[in-house]
Homo-oligomer: A and B are copies of this chain.
């Protein structure tokens, strides 16, 4: 699998942003530990999802590319697939929940994709996506349980390994905002090979901590609720059949944080790091800031920045 990640890194060269590993002396003071933030909110389309999408589309045959791709997503994967497909001349259909942030739906359409909306509470997006893929002969790019996607997201881990070494960080937890586990498992695989003293750990919102519970019990657990969190980007019912075994083997224990802590982390990222993070992209930083049980260095992945202005202002009003 590490070879797939390295191959993905080659394919992404010159296309994906090599996002910086940010640090703030004042944030470190406030946190009582050194915090390094891998700013994937600065990735093309505002989240890491472009990496996996671009890698998946890159591996298609010319024929398959012309047939087009389909994806189902709460919004960030949608935009990543839409842009990667547009860049490579593949038509894209994106299936999105009707309660996804308007910004994400609008952006996906503006990137040239056809958007099909569905009801998150009453429809099964996997079945819907599979049916549409078959009906239209398109290649399905799953949001996380897809080896091409996991390999693409894993390129984030290769960069973290290099940038941590440059920053003089030898051993640290690498906290990753976790939905279905595509980013977390990709990073975990990359680190296991490239920087074994960096340990990936999934971070989720309270009430949607299926991955943490799955890792703890050793079997896949499912969330009671399917929606209703401001951390919409990382709300998935359960870890994937591909991602769970990888996380079980390579990840440390999961962490769950409150929505308030995610908002507080967004405000601190505004003040100290000058990056815009969405709630679901801020849970790892929130864990680094507010759930520490030691003073060790820590790396937090800020996985996305696609947040509406109204919600961002709420974070600033309450915690800025």
Binding site for B on A (CB under 8 A): 14, 17-20, 22-26, 29, 39, 41-42, 44-46, 83, 86, 103, 107, 110-111, 166, 267, 270-271, 273-277, 305-306, 309, 312-313, 316-317, 320
B42, B273, B276: the one contacting A270 at CB < 8 Å is B276
A-B pairs with lowest CB-CB distance, top 6:
A274-B305, A309-B320, A274-B276, A309-B316, A41-B274, A313-B313
Contacts of A275 in B (CB 8 A): 42, 274-276
Contacts of A267 in B (CB 8 A): 309
CA distance A91 to B211 in the complex (A): 48
CA distance A147 to B166 in the complex (A): 28
B17, B22, B111, B312: the one contacting A17 at CB < 8 Å is B22
CA distance A25 to B46 in the complex (A): 11
Contacts of A305 in B (CB 8 A): 274
B18–A20 contact, CB under 8 A?
A: yes
Contacts of A19 in B (CB 8 A): 20
Contacts of A270 in B (CB 8 A): 276, 309, 312
Number of copies: 2
B26–A107 contact, CB under 8 A?
A: yes
How far does the Cβ of A28 sit from chain B's closest Cβ, in whole Å? 11
How far does the Cβ of A106 sit from chain B's closest Cβ, in whole Å? 9
CA distance A312 to B110 in the complex (A): 26
| 19 contacting pairs across A/B (C-beta < 8 A) | A14-B166, A19-B20, A20-B20, A24-B44, A25-B45, A25-B83, A25-B111, A26-B107, A26-B110, A42-B273, A42-B274, A267-B309, A270-B309, A270-B312, A274-B276, A274-B277, A274-B305, A309-B320, A312-B316
A46–B316 contact, CB under 8 A?
A: no
CA distance A166 to B14 in the complex (A): 6
**Known interface pairs A18-B20, A316-B309; A274-B46 also in contact (CB < 8 Å):** yes
Of chain B, the residue at the smallest CB distance from A110 is B26
Contacts of A86 in B (CB 8 A): 25
Contacts of A20 in B (CB 8 A): 17-20, 42
CA distance A6 to B246 in the complex (A): 45
Of chain B, the residue at the smallest CB distance from A29 is B110
Contacts of A14 in B (CB 8 A): 166
Q: Known pairs A42-B275, A276-B276, A313-B317. 15 more at Cβ < 8 A? A: A14-B166, A17-B20, A20-B42, A24-B44, A25-B86, A25-B111, A26-B107, A26-B110, A42-B42, A42-B274, A274-B275, A274-B305, A275-B275, A309-B320, A313-B316
CA distance A23 to B42 in the complex (A): 9
Of chain B, the residue at the smallest CB distance from A17 is B20
Of chain B, the residue at the smallest CB distance from A302 is B274
CA distance A178 to B51 in the complex (A): 35
Of chain B, the residue at the smallest CB distance from A86 is B25
Contacts of A271 in B (CB 8 A): 103, 309
